[in-house]
Amino acid sequence: MVLPVVFFAVFFAWPVVSIVERGLRPDGRWELGRFGETLSRPEILDVLWFTLWQALASTALTLLVALPGAYVFARFDFPGKRVLRAVVTVPFVLPTVMVGTAFLALVGRRGLLDDWWGLRLDTGVWAILLAHVFFNYAVVVRTVGGLWSQLDPRQEEAARVLGASRWRAWRTVTLPALGPSVAAAALMVFLFTASSFGIVQILGGPAYSTLETEIYRQTADRLQLSTAAVLTMVQFVAVGAILTVHARVVRRRETALRLVPAERTARRPQGAGQWALLGGVLLSVALLILAPLGVLVERSLATSDGYGLDYYRALGQVDEGGTFLVPLTDTIVNSLQYALAATGIAVVIGGLAAAALTRRAGRLVRGFDALLMLPLGVSAVTVGFGFLITLDEPPLDLRASWILVPLAQALVGVPFVVRTMLPVLRAVDERLREAAAVLGASPWRAWREVDLPLVRRALLIAAGFAFAVSLGEFGATVFIARPDNPTLPVAVARLLGRPGELNYGQAMALSTILMVVCAVSLLLLERLRSDRTSGEF
């Protein structure tokens, strides 16, 4: 309990509080009047309104598209299911910069659809919404589908035997069981889309701005720290509220449902209706998820004279322009090293936090649980700038140290670790530990002999998630990465900011490499998925 609390205090609370204080207490006096003044400005109200409605619309659209997908993944067996499940999760861990780029390459100017049918969404609300669906599809499939696959179909069958219509059986038996997990997934999607940064920045153009991009603009472009601080507080309160509701919903979800192993519930589709549903879902996955990913691959191979590996070859050379002082292939190594370090930190911190949360119940602990989730919803720019102004005194002048990057990434990884570990740890029978203690094992040894074997798998899955999240993390990294060792997503963003065909091609090639790395690590996770993990991702 102590270590996670210290970690969060030093690397999250302190930087964020400092930067907010800088904005609201410029000369040693709190100027709380700034709240009213900021929140009554029409352009700020516009931003809040746009943030809210695009997040609601994105959430609704995601549920609409992904719920049938969740059903299909839960109930049907079909060849390639495992690979596909890994593939639909890839977008979730890709850096938003790449998601934005992929969508521009698909629906933007000279995008694929433009080349074929002259269809051009360009930038705007629709592009943002579609990218959000692409991004969050996996959240719904994993959260809802995970539970759905373990619901005992015999309960519904029993209702049918007793004379209920198919619809009524589903409504009275399955829906109440699923409800909380749908709500939990919807809240998560809402949280991610409301705090989306890269996608809005790239696909929104100058006319669209959400809370997150506005905080960035007010801090980085205008140095209006007071406005940024007010917005950060608004975001904080909103995220806190969402997380509180989420925790409630999840607790309700932990009510005793009779769960069965997923293998027993999935079967091959039967009849035209089910095949049609499966086909429909596969088509939507192909259009929404495979197409943008495919475009990245296509662009990385399309050189000015036909298809080839030129861009990949170019990655290995040091570019004379000097934007990067190392060959770009080094960014892959950098990224992997950072990700390993970040995973280590996240697993230690998250594991300890999860262990602490299983042992104790009570309000304080639940508060801590929600606290651990906060980094998911707090603007990376706030954290990044907070790092700059707080971690600058010895012994903690980490601004020039490589360790800062994995630390920032671990902040985002910890919530995933906690979410994956907690359900499993809670399922370990307390009496086993007691028995070990009675037999004279030290608490440490009891943990090692009893808990560890049971949670090893979950730990691996958690580590995998932390790894993938760290690979794709962009927001905080971009503030602190240095030109002599950029990470992969940062390198992509910089390449895209430079003119010339070669830079664009190299950005696409790097994106493709990252995508493959993510997909492979997720596929390995798929193999590890134990049927006991009803983890939330």
Partner 1 sequence: MNIRKAAAAALVAALGVTTLAACGTDDVREAAGETDQPMPKTVTLVSHDSFNASKEVLAEFTKQTGLTVKVLKSGDAGEAVNKEILTKGSPQGDVFFGVDNTLLSRALDNGIFVPYEAQGLDRIPAELQLDKEQHRVTPIDSGDICVNYDKQYFADKKLAPPQTFDDLAKPAYKDLLVTENPERSSPGLGFLLGTAAKYGDEGWQDYWKKLKANGVKTVDSWELAYNQEFSGSAGGKKAKGDRPLVVSYASSPPVEVLYAEPQPKVAPTGVSTGTCFRQTEFAGLLNGAKNPEGGKKLIDFLISKKFQDDMPLQMFVNPVTKDATLPELFTKHGVVIEKPETMAPKKIADNRDQWIQQWTSLVLK
Residue numbers of the site for partner 1 (CB under 8 A)? 1-3, 6, 22, 43, 109-110, 114, 205-207, 217, 219-223, 320-323, 325, 345, 348, 352, 355-356, 359, 385, 388-389, 392-395, 397-403, 442-444, 446-447, 478-479, 482-484, 494, 496-501, 504
122: alpha, beta or left, given left = phi > 0 and alpha = psi -120 to 50? left
d(CA 499, CA 27): 44
How many degrees, rounded to 5, is the angle at CA 403 between CA 401 and CA 408? Answer: 115
Which residue, 79 or 206, has its beta carbon nearer to partner 1?
A: 206
Dihedral angle over CA of 219, 222, 225, 226, nearest 10? -130
Smallest separation (angstroms) from partner 1 to the CB of 321: 6
Smallest separation (angstroms) from partner 1 to the CB of 483: 5
Smallest separation (angstroms) from partner 1 to the CB of 497: 6
Smallest separation (angstroms) from partner 1 to the CB of 504: 8
Smallest separation (angstroms) from partner 1 to the CB of 142: 29
427 Cβ contact list (under 8 Å, min separation 6): 532
Which residue, 43 or 263, has its beta carbon nearer to partner 1?
A: 43
Smallest separation (angstroms) from partner 1 to the CB of 365: 12
Q: 472: which 2 tokens?
A: 């794709």
Closest CA to 122 of 107, 110, 132: 107
Does 26 sit behind a cis peptide bond, omega within 30 degrees of 0 on the bond before it? Answer: no
Q: 4: which 2 tokens?
A: 């996670």
Which residue, 128 or 169, has its beta carbon nearer to partner 1?
A: 128
Q: Given the structure tokens 């209006």, which residue do they identify?
A: 224
d(CA 128, CA 212): 14
Q: 513: which 2 tokens?
A: 């490499």
Which residue, 102 or 178, has its beta carbon nearer to partner 1?
A: 102
Which residue, 446 or 455, has its beta carbon nearer to partner 1?
A: 446
Smallest separation (angstroms) from partner 1 to the CB of 53: 18
Distance, first Cα to last Cα, the chain: 23
Q: Given the structure tokens 């309000």, which residue do they identify?
A: 363
Smallest separation (angstroms) from partner 1 to the CB of 206: 4
69 Cβ contact list (under 8 Å, min separation 6): 88, 137, 140, 141, 145, 281, 284, 285
370 Cβ contact list (under 8 Å, min separation 6): 240, 243, 244, 247
Which residue, 301 or 519, has its beta carbon nearer to partner 1?
A: 301
Q: Given the structure tokens 């691996």, which residue do they identify?
A: 460
Which residue, 10 or 52, has its beta carbon nearer to partner 1?
A: 10
Which residue, 268 or 456, has its beta carbon nearer to partner 1?
A: 456
Which residue, 388 or 454, has its beta carbon nearer to partner 1?
A: 388
* Cβ burial, residue 134 (10 Å; 0-12/13-18/19+): buried
> What is Dmax (Cα atoms) for the chain?
76
Smallest separation (angstroms) from partner 1 to the CB of 342: 13
